[in-house]
Every structure is written in C-alpha cells, then in structure tokens.
C-alpha cells in the first residue's frame, strides 16, 4: 500500500510544478520592513526593505515609493536576484510621522499575510531611518538582527513585555486597551530604545520617554526582572538616587467605582504595585544596618514610584491612550449596555487614577552600609 502510494506521489510530483518550493538559497528573506510617509505625496508610502546577505554582516536595501506595501514589494521583486519572502520578517518599523497619521492600512496589509509571523516586532522609528539600515554597527550584524537582539535583551526600558504584531493587533481590537510600540532612535554608537509610543486606535499620539519606560512596564504587567532607577527619592535625611535591580512584582488594578457618564462621575481606580528588588546603589540616604531605617527607605521609594507612575498616567490621560489596559478591568465592572455607550478614551482621560506602591528590599548586595 505504501509503495503504491509513493509511486502515485512521484507521478503526481512530476505533474506538478515546483512553484511552491521555497528552497533556502533561492529566496531572499526580508528581515525588516520600514514604512514611512512619502514627503509631499498623498496616499503614498515610502517602503524600505532590508534583506540580510548570507555573510551576515551586510544587507541588501531597497527603497521605493508606492501606493501600498505590497506594490512596493512587487517593485523590489523586479530588482532582487532572489524571490523576496516575508516569512522571516523580524521587524515592521513605522516612521514617526506616518505613525502619527495612522498605521492601519499598511498594518492590515502586513497582518493579513499568513507568511508573516505574528511575533514580528512593531517599532516606531525616530530620526533618519534611511541611515539606520545602511549604517554599520559595532554591535555586529545587520540592523535587523541588532534590533531583534536589542528588543529581546533590554530589561531596562521595557521589562519583559513585547510589542509585536500580535500584541498590537490584540490591543487595537480590544476596546479596553490601546496598543503601544517601542520607539527606536539613533545614537553615535548605534541604536537606542528611545521610549514607548502610545497609540489611540492606529494613531501614535504620545511618547513615553525612555526614562519612564520602566515605570510604564510596571504599570502594564507584572514586573519580571526590571531595573529601576530613582533619581530623587525623598528621605528624612535628604534626597538622593537609588537603583534597584532584578525587580519582580505584581500589579493589581482595583476599580473603586466604574465611570458614570450620566452623573458625570469619573472612574476611580487604584493601581497597586508590589515590588521586590535588590538594592544596587544608594546615596547613603539612611543607615542600612539600622533595621528600623530600612522600612523608611522602602516607604520613601514606594512614594517615589507611586508619584512617578501617577505622573506617567497623567501623561497618558492627556491623549486618552490607555496603554496599560485599565479599560479591560473597568469593563469587568460594568454592564454591557453602559460599557458600549461609554467612550473609554474619554473616560480614561477623566478617570481618577491613584498608584500605590509597596516596595521591599530583597537584599542590598555585598555591602551592608557604605559609611560606618
């Protein structure tokens, strides 16, 4: 039976062409797609595509202005010596100005293609993106690989959360959350995570500075191995900076009361953070070997984190971009009709949101105290 089957299959394979073969060395896999606004042209996109060469340090870059991403891809196919495929795409980068205009149409074209993995990173790029792709990086490899590794390894700004096609689309469709994306910009040494882009629907509306990004990650999900730097922690002995490493913790969103637009009552929400980390730097703010002073320091840090997070939330409230998904918690407390009638972006702007942070020092490294 088997051998007969194989015979049949061989016959069939002879009949069929090899159109669907994607033999490794005969295809060019795009690593990065960059989508920008075409200057001075309406309804046009500037599309750049980067295909790494097999020597691992160079890449082929094509740029084109076209009506859509797919049209540009056809143009690239006309130039490239290998068929361009998108299955190994790692990043979709949007120029900041395009992102401010709205990314839905190109986004839809990317997401619809079943070849493209839904783990592809979504990035908003600042600065002269054309240079990003052609530049040489001391970090080694091509830009695509560099960014990919950067986004995986960087705990300082983003904690553990990932901004990829899946999370973007998921939050885009979720009526209780708004999508976010990582912002990447250029420095002398290479590229840098410059912050987090807040979206309302598909429009990039506000930016969270890189310094605040770690606090944003605390608000967005449970902290897993985040590094926190606090520059002005107020203690009874004066203000100073503290650095906490390996922070893990829980985030809890408590809805004290859901919004009631009829009675003009805004939502009242408390975000509770419970964090634990290793103290890595502190300006001799208190005597650490005095057991009573540690809770004082913890409280001081808690207040700092809460204030910082609240400031962050105010910033997010201005454009009404609920990047941390408070809406999905509020939704749990409302009736369907009320929720549907509610404009959550507006309600988020109006909401009274308080942050409470409880920080515990797990350990303080090698030294108990600096002076003494």
Size of the site for other proteins (CB under 8 A): 58
Of 150-179, binders to other proteins (CB under 8 A) are 166-167, 169-177
Tell me the residue length of the chain. Answer: 372
We find the least distance from the C-beta atom of residue 115 to other proteins, in angstroms, to be 7
Sign (positive/negative) of CA torsion 60, 64, 68, 71?
Answer: negative
20 binds other proteins (CB under 8 A): yes
Between CA 318 and CA 327 the distance in angstroms is 16
- Enter the tokens of residue 39: 């200057």
- Enter the tokens of residue 251: 């985030």
341 binds other proteins (CB under 8 A): no
Q: Collapsing DSSP states into helix, strand and coil, what is residue 208?
A: strand
Give pairs for 269-272: CB < 8 Å, separation 24+.
269/326, 269/329, 269/330, 269/351, 269/352, 269/353, 269/354, 270/353, 270/354, 270/355, 270/356, 271/219, 271/309, 271/313, 271/324, 271/326, 271/353, 271/354, 271/355, 271/356, 272/355, 272/356, 272/357, 272/358
We find the least distance from the C-beta atom of residue 167 to other proteins, in angstroms, to be 8
- From the list 15-23, 42-50, 131-139, 181-189, the region that binds other proteins by CB under 8 A is 15-23
C-beta of residue 192 within 8 angstroms of C-beta of residue 132: no
> Binding marks (x or -) toward other proteins, 117..136, rule CB under 8 A?
xxx-----------------
Q: Which of 158, 220, 308, 331 binds other proteins (CB under 8 A)?
A: 331
We find the least distance from the C-beta atom of residue 55 to other proteins, in angstroms, to be 7
CA–chain centroid gap for 86, Å, is 21
We find the least distance from the C-beta atom of residue 291 to other proteins, in angstroms, to be 37
90 binds other proteins (CB under 8 A): yes
We find the least distance from the C-beta atom of residue 328 to other proteins, in angstroms, to be 4
Q: Collapsing DSSP states into helix, strand and coil, what is residue 303?
A: helix
Which residues have a Cβ under 8 Å from the Cβ of 329 and sit 6 or more positions away? 176, 253, 255, 269
> Binding marks (x or -) toward other proteins, 247..286, rule CB under 8 A?
----------------------------------------
> Binding marks (x or -) toward other proteins, 288..327, rule CB under 8 A?
-------------------------------------x--
- From the list 85-93, 259-267, 291-299, 354-362, the region that binds other proteins by CB under 8 A is 85-93
Residue 55 or 262 with smaller CB distance to other proteins = 55
348 binds other proteins (CB under 8 A): no
């Amino acid at each position: 039976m088997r051998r007969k089957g194989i015979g049949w299959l061989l016959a069939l394979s002879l009949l069929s062409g090899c159109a669907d073969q994607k033999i490794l060395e005969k295809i060019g896999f795009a690593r990065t797609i960059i989508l920008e606004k075409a200057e001075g042209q309406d309804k046009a996109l500037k599309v750049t595509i980067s295909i790494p060469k097999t020597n691992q340090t160079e890449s082929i870059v094509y740029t084109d202005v076209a009506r859509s991403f797919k049209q540009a891809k056809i143009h690239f196919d006309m130039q490239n010596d290998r068929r361009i495929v998108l299955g190994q795409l790692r990043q979709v980068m949007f120029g900041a100005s395009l992102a401010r205009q709205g990314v839905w149409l190109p986004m839809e074209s990317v997401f619809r293609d079943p070849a493209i993995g839904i783990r592809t990173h979504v990035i908003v790029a600042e600065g002269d993106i054309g240079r990003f792709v052609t530049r040489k990086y001391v970090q080694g490899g091509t830009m695509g690989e560099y960014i990919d590794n950067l986004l995986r390894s960087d705990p300082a700004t983003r904690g553990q959360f990932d901004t990829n096609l899946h999370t973007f689309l998921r939050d885009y469709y979720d009526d209780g959350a708004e999508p976010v994306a990582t912002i990447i910009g250029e420095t002398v040494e290479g590229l840098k995570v410059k912050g987090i882009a807040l979206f309302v629907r598909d429009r990039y509306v506000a930016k969270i500075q890189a310094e605040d990004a770690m606090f944003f990650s605390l608000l967005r999900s449970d902290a897993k191995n985040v590094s926190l730097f606090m520059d002005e922690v107020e203690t009874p002995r004066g203000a100073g900076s503290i650095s906490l490493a390996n922070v893990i913790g829980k985030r809890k969103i408590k809805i004290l009361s859901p919004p009631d637009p009829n009675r003009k009552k805004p939502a009242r929400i408390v975000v509770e953070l419970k964090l634990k980390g290793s103290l890595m730097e502190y300006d001799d703010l208190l005597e650490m070997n005095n057991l009573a002073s540690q809770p004082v320091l913890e409280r001081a840090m808690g207040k700092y984190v809460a204030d910082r997070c609240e400031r962050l939330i105010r910033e997010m409230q201005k454009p009404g971009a609920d990047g941390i998904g408070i809406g999905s918690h509020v939704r749990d407390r409302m009736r369907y009709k009320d929720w549907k009638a509610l404009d959550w972006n507006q309600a988020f702007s109006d909401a009274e949101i308080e942050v409470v942070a409880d920080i515990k020092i797990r350990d303080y490294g090698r030294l108990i105290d600096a002076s003494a």
